[in-house]
Every structure is written in structure tokens, then in C-alpha cells.
């Protein structure tokens, strides 16, 4: 009888501790404010009107974060009238990873997403910060929490 009472109390305590731990883990594993650093480079440094500027973007995860191949990383740059045409580029896989190999869905290292910007033939000379947006999905390695993320980017473009 005594053993039965100890067993029941131990089960209740264990259930409570598991629920408390799970609640704490769920509360701590929400979306990250900044899961990755976004790096942007432009070549050439100065572009002739009517030319092209190559934008290279990398999504560099913070420690403990993995960047997904699916859904794809997407960079969108809206048109800036008289300066550039709109452009969009993606990097990643078009389909989810195989069920038996979920680790294949993550980039092993930051890969470059390249996007060509068409400069308007009548674009005036000067430096500009062209606004764009990058969208991607990430997972926290320790908890398995995954979420979409987006970040605004400034693309430095100089027209000669």
C-alpha cells in the first residue's frame, strides 16, 4: 500500500515537472528577432546607365540556427522609376526534402543568391540605396523550432 502511494505521488510529480519543462521550452522557443545576418554585395561598384549591376546576397545564420533550402530563399527588389527595373531571385530547392533525410533541407554554409539589376538607360548619376526584401525559412537546431523570416535590405547602387 505504501509503495502504491509513493508510486502515484511520483507519477503526479513527474507529470507536473514534464508539463512545466515543456511549457518553459515552448515559451523560450518562439520566433527569433534576427535569426541570420544578411550580407549584400554589388558589382561593379559603379554602373553605366543602361547597364547591369550584379547583386550577391548571403543569408548567414547565427549560431544554433539552420537556413532551409525549401521553401527557397527569395530576394525581391521593386522598380525604382527612372533608376532600375524590378527583379526577383531565388535560391534553394523547389521540393521538400525526402522524409528519410530531413537534414538535406539545410544549407551547410551560406550560398550566394545572385540577382541582376537592370539600370534604366536614363538613370541620373549618383549613389542610391535601393530597397529590397529577403524572405527565408530557418530552424533552431536545439529545439527544432522552425519559422519564416523576412528582412529589409538596402542595396548600394552607384550610377556613373
Considering the domain architecture, whether residues 103 and 138 belong to the same structural domain is answered as yes
Each residue's pLDDT tens digit, 106-133: 999 999 999 999 999 999 999 999 999 9
Asked whether the predicted pLDDT for residue 10 surpasses 80, the reply is no
Each residue's pLDDT tens digit, 16-63: 333 333 333 333 468 999 999 999 999 999 999 999 999 999 999 999
pLDDT for the residue 29: 66
Considering the domain architecture, whether residues 49 and 12 belong to the same structural domain is answered as no
Tell me how far apart the alpha carbons of residues 136 and 24 are, in angstroms, rounded to a whole number: 27
**Which residues 6+ apart lie within 8 Å of 40 measured at CB?**
55, 56, 57, 153, 154, 155, 156
Considering the domain architecture, whether residues 71 and 131 belong to the same structural domain is answered as yes
Residues of 32-53 as b/e, b for ≥16 C-beta within 10 angstroms?
A: eeebbebebebeeeebeeeeeb
Tell me how far apart the alpha carbons of residues 133 and 153 are, in angstroms, rounded to a whole number: 6
DSSP state, residue 109: S
How many domains is the chain built from?
A: 2
* 8 Å CB contact between 146 and 159: no
Model-wide pTM > 0.85: no
pLDDT for the residue 30: 84
Asked whether the predicted pLDDT for residue 11 surpasses 60, the reply is no
Each residue's pLDDT tens digit, 89-109: 999 999 999 999 999 999 999
Considering the domain architecture, whether residues 6 and 70 belong to the same structural domain is answered as no
Average pLDDT for 58-73: 98
Average pLDDT for 55-84: 98
Considering the domain architecture, whether residues 40 and 3 belong to the same structural domain is answered as no
CA atoms within 13 A on the CB side of 10: 6
Tell me how far apart the alpha carbons of residues 86 and 45 are, in angstroms, rounded to a whole number: 19
Strand partners, 95: none
pLDDT for the residue 12: 45
Considering the domain architecture, whether residues 59 and 108 belong to the same structural domain is answered as yes
Average pLDDT for 134-154: 97
| pLDDT range class, residue 14, cuts 50, 70, 90 | very low
Q: What is the CATH number of the domain that holds 129?
A: 2.60.40.10
* 8 Å CB contact between 30 and 145: yes
Amino acid at each position: 500500500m505504501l509503495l502504491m502511494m509513493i508510486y502515484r505521488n511520483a507519477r503526479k510529480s513527474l507529470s507536473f515537472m514534464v508539463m512545466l519543462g515543456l511549457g518553459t521550452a515552448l515559451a523560450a522557443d518562439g520566433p527569433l528577432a534576427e535569426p541570420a545576418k544578411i550580407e549584400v554585395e554589388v558589382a561593379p561598384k559603379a554602373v553605366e546607365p543602361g547597364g547591369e549591376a550584379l547583386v550577391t546576397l548571403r543569408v548567414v545564420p547565427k549560431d544554433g540556427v539552420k537556413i532551409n533550402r525549401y521553401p527557397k530563399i527569395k530576394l525581391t527588389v521593386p522598380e525604382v522609376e527612372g533608376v532600375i527595373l524590378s527583379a526577383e531571385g531565388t535560391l534553394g530547392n523547389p521540393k521538400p526534402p525526402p522524409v528519410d533525410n530531413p537534414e538535406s533541407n539545410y544549407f551547410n554554409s551560406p550560398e550566394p543568391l545572385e540577382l541582376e539589376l537592370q539600370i534604366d538607360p536614363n538613370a541620373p548619376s549618383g549613389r542610391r540605396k535601393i530597397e529590397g526584401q529577403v524572405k527565408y525559412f530557418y530552424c533552431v537546431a536545439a529545439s527544432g523550432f522552425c519559422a519564416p523570416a523576412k528582412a529589409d535590405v538596402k542595396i548600394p547602387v552607384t550610377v556613373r
